[in-house]
Structure 1
């Protein structure tokens, strides 16, 4: 027994360090999604930082410019697009007789954003009728809650906590990304100087593993997922513009939602966005034939097909496809990570699944062979 206590005493600082790490993990666990989003934004911002680095020498100013001019606008575009897609998805499933999404802050916000978009017309802007842009239901809801102190308090409690939570987490994401971009090289140098023996063992295995994981995460996040975003936004824009000129019976249903589906399907090899575009064009063809508007507007349909094939399929394929890469991760496994990750972890699972797959792939590609070689060498 005394031997056990003696070994525990000798390892007291190691035990204390392990307890601190466990405490840190326990504190960080509720913010797992925040950290994952920050890691994603870091990897899409880092190549942009490298491009700006020769022109801006001050590190803090460089990271600030990168965040303000590139990262934040991208996040706003993604958030706005997702809200519109959610609203259109809700309208779509309600239209075909299924139960709509439950009422909540996200669905309510998506409906407000969708109505503002519909009211944001050139006529309202030119006439100065800005009150027509904001939904009247919003005023009525506020007036109804403001009839008494109790109702006003209920409004603050029901919506304020959600808004504060979103703002706080968004602030955390921005702060984490800022310091990751500014201090990443210093962190690597600190790890090398603090744990020299760990870095040197197995012929520098940990450094090789970390470098491989880092390179593939950048390729996946900056290449694949950023390409999905651009594919989706471009497709949604093309669909929305076509709908502005579409004759009766030839409009594309839920253009924002269809654009996002096109972006996600771009990950599929060979078939790509054809699995969305072909059924979509067939749907417009059938609906227009049933409405009797196809033959009078056949020229528009041909122009629609040509515009979608050129601007949604061919042009992005040549411009963006070269940036899409799975690195040394198997493409099929990456597809399963994109599919299963969100099922297990929610929206953040899109990134968590890819991170876990990269960590596992390089563990069995680098760590296991290195340990096996060392074990075989020690036996000889």
Structure 2
């Protein structure tokens, strides 16, 4: 059999390309958290990047300004929020002294096992923890700081080049490899939904958390100590996370808090303490719950992805993938839903976009003639208005 040299050359080039792609995939998997955060940060700062276009600034300058004005402060805010929650959780453990004799005696009174051994185990664990903290070397601390700095640098650089060249790179790919047009329709369906979901819901979380912390601190400044809100930073952060659950999420935070404070006021015998608790209930319902949910979610949250499925992805994502799963699984959910809606019909029928049969409700009237619209056109295209003759 004659040796096909052109085919062998093409096969060699194909193997080389696959090897390069495998290396890129390996690096992406090793830095998957940074890549996911870059996608989130891209969609978070893109509205700022596009709004700066009105000043006729170059793309690179607009990308840099968007990152400086919004991107980097957002990353620092996320880190600060995580640190505050960790410190508040540590404070709770210290207040309730879970390893102390009072806690052990309380558990012994209810008759649940031998807690002397448990106390010794906890004390030993704490001693070992203290020794490990003391034993941390300067080189180890520098290694942690350098790793965090490198990941932050990669995050900023990836986001910057996604803002500058991302749209042109996607357009080049579609023009070169998307003869059918189906991938273009898929991108047009996915992009706005990712933008609305990542930017809208996550920004709503942080705005609600900031408003909640400010509200609880302002209340504690004026309220008596007997009915002060405990751990306001932690409760404000929980209110932000609760905003992911529509309607009832934030109520699961401030209603139990006000109920406990009202019970404290009733037990103390000073019924006048119920007045500040009632004020806290009203202010929390209006300022923390109603205003962010009504004015933010209604304008910047996605409306195509099912809310229940999105909520499940927010809950399951961190459990499966870690903290970055909070962003990764919603992205995967949106990709899967739109792939089912756009790509699966093409894969099954082979019909290109615009040629498949449309339902009656998918027709729109343009100039008196009925014209079928694709799903992405109905979601992303602005409402057309007839021009006056």
| Aligned match of 1:372 | 348
Deviates more, 1:44-53 or 1:309-318: 309-318
Pick from 160, 181, 195: which aligns with 1:178? Answer: 160
| Aligned match of 1:18 | 18
Q: What is the distance in 2 between the residues matched to 1:332 and 1:32?
A: 26
Pick from 161, 169, 173: which aligns with 1:191? Answer: 173
Q: Trace 1:1-380 onto structure 2 (pairs within 5 A).
A: 10-96=10-96, 98=98, 155-193=137-175, 195=176, 198-201=177-180, 204-293=181-270, 295-374=271-350
Aligned residue pair count = 322
Deviates more, 1:368-377 or 1:87-96: 368-377
Cα distance, 1:244–1:5 mapped onto 2, change above 3 Å: farther
Q: Is the 8 A contact 2:265 2:274 kept in 1?
A: no
Q: Structure 1: which 5+ residue stretches go unaligned?
A: 101-140, 146-150
Spell out, residue by residue over 1:176-210, the C-alpha distance to the aligned partner (whole angstroms, 9 max, x if none): 111111112221233234x2xx3112xx1111112
CA displacement at 1:216 relative to structure 2: 1.1
RMSD: 2.7
Higher helix share: 1
Q: Is the 8 A contact 1:56 1:62 kept in 2?
A: no
CA displacement at 1:2 relative to structure 2: 8.3
Q: Secondary structure of 1:249's match? A: helix
Q: Is the 8 A contact 1:326 1:334 kept in 2?
A: no
- Calculate the TM-score normalised by the size of structure 2: 0.76
Cα distance, 1:325–1:2 mapped onto 2, change above 3 Å: farther
Spell out, residue by residue over 1:90-145, the C-alpha distance to the aligned partner (whole angstroms, 9 max, x if none): 22244345479xxxxxxxxxxxxxxxxxxxxxxxxxxxxxxxxxxxxxxxx9xx98
Q: What is the distance in 2 between the residues matched to 1:5 and 1:89?
A: 67
Cα distance, 1:99–1:79 mapped onto 2, change above 3 Å: farther
Q: What is the distance in 2 between the residues matched to 1:34 and 1:12?
A: 33
Whichever of the two has the greater Rg, that structure is 2
Spell out, residue by residue over 1:30-52, the C-alpha distance to the aligned partner (whole angstroms, 9 max, x if none): 11111111110000100111112
Spell out, residue by residue over 1:73-104, the C-alpha distance to the aligned partner (whole angstroms, 9 max, x if none): 2222232222111111222244345479xxxx
Q: What is the distance in 1 between the residues matched to 2:192 and 2:314?
A: 19
Q: What is the distance in 2 between the residues matched to 1:285 and 1:359?
A: 46
Q: Is the 8 A contact 2:255 2:281 kept in 1?
A: no
